[in-house]
Structure 1
Amino acid sequence: MRCARCGRCRQNSCGRFCIDAGKISGGASANACAQAHDGVSRLLRDGLRYEHFLVATACRSCRDPLCMTQCPVGSIRRKENLEIIIEDWCIGCGKCAELCPYGNINMHPLEVMKEIKTEIKGKDGAPAQVKIEKKKMTAYKANTCDLCTQLSTPSCVYACPHDAAKRVDPQRFFGDAITAQSELIGATWAPMPARYETHHTH
């Protein structure tokens, strides 16, 4: 079977995985990502290619993650099993996205209601008054693959109807090619958590 670019992966999932271009027919995995994360896909079906495999744009769980070095509120952190997550108190400054050498952190726009205070000067010595208005504004929140930690199986891989998406350990799967690429970029890959070592659809 080939990937039919159906989009289900983006709607139902997210993850560090590769796509067999020889089997691609759609985007089932990316659609899966959106369903698993409040309608926002964390998976970009684009990235490096090794022979007929496409490495999707997803968090690489670097050994020394640059993305964590300048967050002013500490919202991006690493869990005990090496997974990098972004907490809900992210203020959307974008520093983590700027520092990621793989371009795997996206700034997602959110529509929020904010109070705007305006001071109105009083006439003839009267005290000033504060006018408060609520306005719709656009805020941003960083998001990246969290390896679907809230689920028992990666949604992107499970959702692919053609077995084209796979969760793999990059060092084992691509060998020397991935090591050479990482050295060129100046970042290294962390070992994959045991529970995520190679999953196939269904």
Structure 2
Amino acid sequence: MTDADGLAVGERAPDVSGSLVRPDGPVEETALTALLADGPVLLAFYTNDFSPDCTREWCAFRDYEWFAVDGAVQVVGVSRSRVGTHRKFIDHLGLSFPLFADTDLAMARAFDVDYRTFGVFARSRRSTFLVGTDRTVRHVWLGDHALDPTLDRPDMAELRAAIEREFGDSPTDDDHAAFRAAWETD
């Protein structure tokens, strides 16, 4: 397996930054805190653009329309793919989600999901971190395939349930206000 155990629920997410490729064109050096200023973020770490498993994962995010149209949580991908590859990946799949280019795996290390497959190939463990506007990790999913943790994919309905559980029960929570405003427009 891997020693990359990921940040735990309740821990404070690091204020990482990197080149963020947005679907509408711009590429900007962006900090996690800048994204959190607009609401909670679901960071989805994956291996590489265009690999079969990663393509299936991002098609699942795209096709599970709730993530694209609800607006309660910003879905943001993180992989070691380069900016140009991200642009092609976004365009090829018609994604509406931005992707961080973590070419040196610094973001993966900060979230404790970097590892080496068979002790050789550096990559990030497929994982998701639901981060509240206060940078608290509210939910974690880690791929746990016995041979290669990049082979697992998160269950979209379980992610949605975690978002509803974390941001749907507390009317005094700032995250809840953003969730409710988006949810009631459905």
Q: If the length of structure 1 is used for normalisation, what is the TM-score?
A: 0.29
**Structure with larger Rg:** 1
Name whichever structure is richer in helix by fraction. 2
